[in-house]
Structure 1
Amino acid sequence: MKNEKQQSRIKSILKSLVAFGIVFTLIFSQADFALAARSGGRIGGGSFRTPRTYSPGPSRAPGGGYGRGFGGGFGFPFLIPFFGFGGGFGGLFGIFIFIAIANFLVRSFQSATAGDEETGGYGRLGVSVGRVQVGLLAEGRSLQDDLDRIAEAADTGSAEGRAQVLQEATLALLRHPEYWAYGAAETTQTGMESAEAQFNQWAIAERSKFTEETLSNYNNQLSGTSAPAIKSGETGNGEIVPQEGQAPGEYIVVTLVVGTVGKLELPKVNSAQELRQAVSRLGSVGAEQLLAIEVLWTPQAKGDTISTDDMLANYPNLALV
């Protein structure tokens, strides 16, 4: 009887230890996840619904009208007298001519309207969406400082300001080719609605990889601030600390997503030279062509890193350059 009680106590103790072990494992696994949280930065803005310079409008006639009347818009005072009808429409032949011209104008207007609806007002030029991604070795941390500075000072509420963001971001990448490790580029040309959907899909896919957007300037809405830079091997008070056990193979990933008027061609990236061409081509897009832009980078917070495993898991499309 006594042995049975002891065995019962031992079993209860073992059950308690097992339960405690499970709770302990869950708590520390969540803590590890929290420690692995990835910060991100974001700069961008724009709209696919605001036609600019390339928006086709009605052809202006020499008389100053746009075809709303007959006094110089479509030139009827010149056409009708040519057929000998003066300014009137008394003859049957004149009526046929008028109907034919009116039918032609209606069809032309309908065709132009349908084209504008499909391309967002940009006619045959169409709309393109492009994405360029660069994976850099973590030694190039000065790039993070450059992007922080751009985010805090950029005017993302104007076309000119967004074009400047694109130029400065691509220049920051081009200044650090020695740290390039991975790259990818792709583009598509389609109708307005499809282009906007593709742009949002690419941007959201990258943003979803962030645990938190620690610095953002989107359409002139600034949130978060960049922390003071702490160099590797230093503490906040400048004291040098040992670097034993520092994990090798840490990376920074920068993603550029743009929507542009017209055709945008980007090379397939399999080398550093092709990556340079893709970045340069994207940076050459001017304010009159640029519809929308997203510059996304991770990590943004100081001390945050991306490991080789993270790269393989979250960026399988990037090619080694």
Structure 2
Amino acid sequence: MRLGASGFGRGIQVVDSGNELTNDVVTITQLEVALLAQARDLQTELETIAARSDIGTKPGLNRLLQETVLALLRSPEYWSHAKVTNQTVRSRAQASQVFEQLSVTERSKFSRETLVNVGGQVSRQTYQPKPDADSAAYIVVTLIVGTADDQPLVTQPIHSASDLQAALRRLGGVTPDYLLVYELLWTPQDASDSLSYDQMLAAYPDLTQIS
């Protein structure tokens, strides 16, 4: 599943380089959260959010980010693994390149995209589960966020539930003025699809188990 919108636009060069909202500096934050497959309600909630989201405006995109964060915060009992990375770059063009590279890398891990919403254009593909598929073990949710911040949003690695909670709250606190671009991806999207433990480790080897 892919849900996103691009909004870096054209940067503005100003003398006061300390003004985060008008300079060209962009921070790209990627947060990956693996949850136990029992969190099936989360899949349904994310799909509902995706279907009704107005991502053509900054307030709509910001509301999507907040609703995603809230959905994850409501499922702490299913949190299993996580990872956060930050990249701060000096230009909007470089930020767009970094963002697209991260997006393509994450989407290449999927064998199919069954639900796509880009710029409000929604497309769906039906999924037929394989009879010999491994048992579902995990759901992985990825948030890729571009903001006008001049410093990383999350400075500490995630090792515990409290670390993940703090990272989610930080992302959920991004205001519409600061939010430039956001993409939400999760796998599997369809409740009948599966992501086994071995598949999760192969696709997301750098995730850290939450203590």
Which protein is richer in strand relative to its size? 2
Percent identity of equivalent pairs = 38
CA contact (8 A) 2:43 2:191 kept: no
Q: Which is worse superposed, 288-297 or 190-199? A: 190-199
Q: 3-state DSSP class of the match of 1:186? A: strand
Give the Å deviation of 1:264: 3.4
Q: 3-state DSSP class of the match of 1:217? A: strand
**Structure 2 residue aligned with 1:177, among 76, 79, 92?**
76
The gaps in structure 2 that reach 5 residues or longer are none
Q: Which is worse superposed, 211-220 or 252-261? A: 211-220
User: Partners in 2 of 1:169 and 1:121 — Cα distance?
Assistant: 24
User: Partners in 1 of 2:61 and 2:126 — Cα distance?
Assistant: 20
**Structure 1 residue aligned with 2:2, among 39, 42, 52?**
42
**Structure 1 residue aligned with 2:96, among 196, 199, 220?**
196
Q: 3-state DSSP class of the match of 2:113? A: strand
The answer to whether 1:265 aligns with 2:164 is no
For 2:3, give the aligned amino acid: I
Which protein is richer in helix relative to its size? 1
CA contact (8 A) 2:73 2:165 kept: yes
User: Partners in 2 of 1:215 and 1:149 — Cα distance?
Assistant: 11
**Structure 2 residue aligned with 1:211, among 96, 106, 111?**
111
**Structure 1 residue aligned with 2:29, among 130, 147, 160?**
130
Q: Deviations over 1:34-64 (max 9, x none)?
A: xxxxxxx11110321156xxx677xxxxxxx
CA contact (8 A) 2:188 2:194 kept: yes
CA contact (8 A) 1:56 1:121 kept: no
The answer to whether 1:252 aligns with 2:139 is yes
CA contact (8 A) 2:147 2:181 kept: yes
User: Partners in 2 of 1:139 and 1:159 — Cα distance?
Assistant: 33
**Greater relative contact order (Cα < 8 A, sep 6+):** 2
Which 4+ runs in 1 deviate beyond 4 A? 245-249
CA contact (8 A) 1:259 1:292 kept: yes
Q: Deviations over 1:258-312 (max 9, x none)?
A: 1000233212111111111111111111111011000000001121111111111
Structure 1's 290 and 302: CA in aligned 2 closer, same or farther, altered over 3 A? same
CA contact (8 A) 1:148 1:226 kept: no
Q: Deviations over 1:157-189 (max 9, x none)?
A: 111100000000010000000000000011111
Partner of 1:281: 170
User: Partners in 2 of 1:280 and 1:289 — Cα distance?
Assistant: 15
The gaps in structure 1 that reach 5 residues or longer are 1-40, 58-111, 228-244
Which residues in structure 2 correspond to 1:159-178 (within 5 Å)? 159-178=58-77
Give the Å deviation of 1:194: 2.3
The normalised TM-score by structure 1 is: 0.58
Structure 1's 162 and 50: CA in aligned 2 closer, same or farther, altered over 3 A? farther
The answer to whether 1:146 aligns with 2:32 is no
The normalised TM-score by structure 2 is: 0.87
Structure with max Cα Rg = 1
